[in-house]
Amino acid sequence: MPDGLPTEIDLTRPSAARVYDYFLGGAHNFEIDRQLAEQIASMTPNLAATMRSGREFLRRAVRVLLDAGIDQFLDIGSGIPTVGNVHEVAQGVNPKARVVYVDIDPVAVAHSRELLAGNELTGVIHADLREPERILAETRRLGLIDFSRPMGILLAGVVHFIPDADRPEAILATLRDAAAPGSFLVVSHSTFEDQPQEMLDAQRLSARTATEITLRSRAQVTGFFGDWTVLEPGVVHMPLWRPDSPSDVDEHPERFGAFGGVARYDQPAG
């Protein structure tokens, strides 16, 4: 295998994580991924900007969690390492912040482990979001996250890879149930609402990867937070979620095709 990557990596089929890496300007992708990315980009020229918007939403959300005192993060669906990863943002503010990355893609996992070698406050797990109990068990075994204390659960651009048949609501409920009061849940998710037909057609090309996208409504995305308290401004198009500056929001924030939101687990009354 090139670069000493694991032999289980399938180079005959594009990977959603590697396509995403390509759009972000990363180097951890192959020709099969670039071909699909270019086909998608020809249909939706602003898609690279959409990917960057998702990454910026995640960074803003992590900073909000840091301001709230969160110092441990479980990032599921973390993808290929790129500049501005969660551990870089978190440890740039709090050098003692701990981060566990989880991804299904062996390329993403291999490069994450290589990048994070020597960083004792980070860990990497190769697992599928559809196995939340396994993710939680392996995270506990790593010993980096204390489940008796508040943490941030990050699900940026990953739940839309879970089809309805796999009951994403139950998956997220399992993750929420494992968290202590004061924890936060961050979700960004692709949507069909307010989208032109060419965007919907491009999304359907995801069926060529091993992880097809399921587009969902604002109400469905909001439901993933369960009874946790959704922070202002609610579940909104990603650029509208607490932008650093009003100038960061253009006239058509819906063009990025995804909602983002953050919720807090408040201590139940009584």
pLDDT tens digits for 1-10?
455 555 556 6
Write down the pLDDT at residue 1.
Answer: 47
Round the average pLDDT of the chain to a whole number and report it: 87
Tell me which of 40 and 46 has the higher pLDDT: 40
pLDDT mean over 136-152 = 98
Above 80 in pLDDT, residue 262? yes
Above 90 in pLDDT, residue 229? yes
| Cα pseudo-dihedral 236, 228, 99, 123, rounded to 10 | -110
pLDDT mean over 44-49 = 66
Grade residue 24 by pLDDT with cuts at 50, 70 and 90.
confident
pLDDT mean over 228-247 = 94
pLDDT mean over 185-211 = 72
- Nearest in space to 209 (alpha carbons), one of 32, 69, 13: 13
pLDDT mean over 117-128 = 95
Grade residue 18 by pLDDT with cuts at 50, 70 and 90.
confident
The pTM of the full predicted model, rounded to 2 decimals, is 0.85
